[in-house]
Structures are given as C-alpha cells and as structure tokens.
Amino acid sequence: MANTDYTLMRGAQGAISANKVLKNTYMLLAATLAFSAVTAMLSMALQMPPMVYMGAVIVSMLLGIFVLPKTANSASGIGVIFGITGLLGFGLGAILNVYMALPNGPETVALAFGGTALIFLGLSGYALTAKRDFSFMGGFIFAGMMVVMLAVIANIFLAMPALSLAISSAVILLMSGMILFDTSRIARGEEDNYIMATYSIYLSIFNIFISLLQILGIMGDD
Amino acid sequence: MPGFLLFATLTGDTAMELFLKIAMAAVLVLLLFRLWPAYKQWQESGRKAEQGDWLAALLPLGGVVLVVILLIVAVRA
C-alpha cells in the first residue's frame, strides 16, 4: 500500500511539474510573440531594407546555436530569448514592408497571419487533448529538417521559385510536426526547460508564417 | 531554421547581398553539424512508432494541408 501511495504521489508531482513547464512555456511564448510584433512594427515604421532580414536571421541563428543553450538554465536566458525574438521580429518587419507594397499585399499578410494562428492553435490543442506521445516523430523531423536545409542552401544561390515553393511546403509540414512533437514532450514532462521549449515552438510558428507568406505570395501572383 | 531563408534574393546591393548569402549558407552548414547528433540520437534511441501513431499524426497534418489549400483559394479569389 505504501509503495502504491509513493508511486501515485510521484506521478502526481510529475504531472504538476509538467503543467508548470507548459504554463511557463505558453506565457513566455505569448510575451516573445508580442515583443516580436512590436519590433516588427518598429522596423516597418523605420522602412528598413530587406537586407536587414538576412542580417537579423544570421545573428539570431548564431545566438540560438551558441548563447541560448548556455544561458537557458539561468535568468539571463530570458534576456537572450527576448533578444533573439526581437531581432527576428525586426527582420520580419523589413520583409512585411515588401509585401505591403504589393497590390494584394495586405490581404496576403493577413491571410498568412490568420493561417499561422489557426494552424498553431489547432495543432497545440490536438496535441494536448489527444494525450498521445508524438516523440516517435523525432528522427523523421530532424532528418526532414536536414534535407530541407540542404535544399535551402542550394536555393540561396540558385533562386528558383519552384524550389522555393517546394521548400515552403515542406517547412510548413515539418514545423507542424514539430509543434506536435514539442507540445507532447512538454505535456509528458520530457522537456523541463521552458526557455528552450519556447524557443523551439516560436521558431516553428515563425517558420510557418514565413513559409505561408512565400506560398501565398507566389500563388497570389505577387 | 529553413523558413527564414526563403527571402534570400530580395536584397538589391550585389556585393552586400553576396556576402550575406555566403554568411547565411555558412551558418546553415553550422546548424547542420549541430543537428546531426540530435538526429542520430533520436534515430537510434528514440521511441518507435506503434500501431495508430502515424494515423494520429497524419490526421492533423492533413488538416494543415487543407488550411493551406483554403488560404491559397482565398488569396486567388
């Protein structure tokens, strides 16, 4: 009986801990998304050139690779993640200016924004309510990401619209899978660092938005 | 992450554009090297799919495809 009680208590504590990480992750995600929106609006108001986007992405990727993993277990990790998301938002503003100048630009941006929100909320809700373990997707997702990255490196220099379209489509599917994967890991207590969890989900949302912009821009003849 | 890099051809200044493209490609290659150990670890010791797992994953992904198609229809309307 005592062993059963101990097992039940450990299970309950694990669930409480997982719920705490989930709550902190979503709160930090909301804050970083809002901060990104503010820096994007600032970038749009300053009419930053598209080149700023590439520079912002390069710096934020380097911060994400080298700095964030080292600071994720301390309070400075919060500052780093706000720095990364603020940079990405600032770079995004430069791209949004390009789209807003097109004939159907505002509609395209609004549809991409709405679509991203719908996809993220739908997938997160599904992952949390289905209570399934989606960690089996890990190998497939990482393999897919590496293949897509190789395609992106090639397309940086080839600049083929058809390849861009294929990459965007693949990115949307991979990042959707990543949202399922990350959300189920957090809910099951397999991810206990809410800063790294937020970073991963933020990148999934950002990549889905950028890819939707690309697809809708091409398909809308913009 | 890949999606970032889809606007790599939007800049106008040639020398700066080439420099940024090379820098971005270099950072991506770095990211590939960082992803490789994670891929190997998940491939070797990650949980294998059981019956019903893939269907449970493909259902919402199919929903995503549907949403994207609807958005494309909306933008072309």
Picking from B1, B20, B46, the nearest residue to A54 by CB comes out as B20
CB contacts < 8 A, A to B, total: 185
Interface confidence (ipTM) of the complex: 0.87
pLDDT at B30 exceeding the cut of 70: yes
Chain A positions touching B6 (Cβ under 8 A) are 152, 155, 164, 167-168, 210-211, 214
Using pLDDT thresholds of 50, 70 and 90, give the confidence band for residue B2. very low
Choice among A18-22, A67-71, A145-149, A201-205 with the minimum mean pLDDT: A18-22
DSSP chain A: -HHHHHHHHHHHHHHHHHHHHHHHHHHHHHHHHHHHHHHHHHHHHTT--THHHHHHHHHHHHIIIIIHHHHTTSTHHHHHHHHHHHHHHHHHHHHHHHHHTSTTHHHHHHHHHHHHHHHHHHHHHHHHHH---GGGGHHHHHHHHHHHHHHHHHHHHH--HHHHHHHHHHHHHHHHHHHHHHHHHHHTTS---HHHHHHHHHHHHHHHHHHHHHHHHHHTT-
pLDDT at A109 exceeding the cut of 70: yes
Percent of chain A with pLDDT over 70: 93
**Domain limits for position A214:** 2-219
Percent of chain A with pLDDT over 90: 77
Q: Which amino acid is at B74?
A: A
Minimum distance, in Å, between the CA of residue A184 and any CA atom of chain B? 11
Record the tokens describing residue A84, joined without a space: 């990364």
A65 and B4 within 8 Å at the Cβ level: the answer is no
Record the tokens describing residue A3, joined without a space: 């062993």
- Name the residue with tokens 């930053």: A48
Q: How far out from the chain centre does Cα B42 lie?
A: 18
Give the pLDDT confidence score for residue A123 in this predicted structure.
96
In chain B, the residue whose alpha carbon lies closest to the alpha carbon of A214 is B6
Choice among A37-51, A74-88, A97-111, B14-28 with the minimum mean pLDDT: B14-28
Residue A221, classified by CB atoms within 10 Å of its CB into exposed (0-12), middle (13-18) or buried (19+), is exposed
A156 and B4 within 8 Å at the Cβ level: the answer is no
B72 and A54 within 8 Å at the Cβ level: the answer is no
Task: Residue window 2-61, chain B: list those with CB within 8 Å of chain A.
Answer: 2-13, 16-17, 20-21, 23-25, 27-32, 34-36, 38-39, 42-43, 46-50, 53, 56-57, 60-61
Answer yes or no: are the C-beta atoms of B60 and A128 closer than 8 Å.
Answer: no
Give the pLDDT confidence score for residue A111 in this predicted structure.
96
Picking from A108, A149, A212, the nearest residue to B28 by CB comes out as A149
pLDDT at A103 exceeding the cut of 90: no
Domain boundaries, chain B: 2-76
A188: nearest Cα among A126, A150, A148, A131: A131
Choice among A10-19, A145-154, A192-201, A210-219 with the minimum mean pLDDT: A10-19
Using pLDDT thresholds of 50, 70 and 90, give the confidence band for residue B3. low
Give the pLDDT confidence score for residue A11 in this predicted structure.
65
Answer yes or no: are the C-beta atoms of A213 and A112 closer than 8 Å.
Answer: yes
Give the pLDDT confidence score for residue B65 in this predicted structure.
97
Most confident of the following: A5-14, A181-190, A203-212: A203-212
Q: Mean pLDDT over residues A101-112, rounded? A: 92
Query: Does A4 contact chain B (CB < 8 Å)?
Result: no
Using pLDDT thresholds of 50, 70 and 90, give the confidence band for residue B1. very low
Rg (CA), chain B: 19
Domains in chain A, number:
1
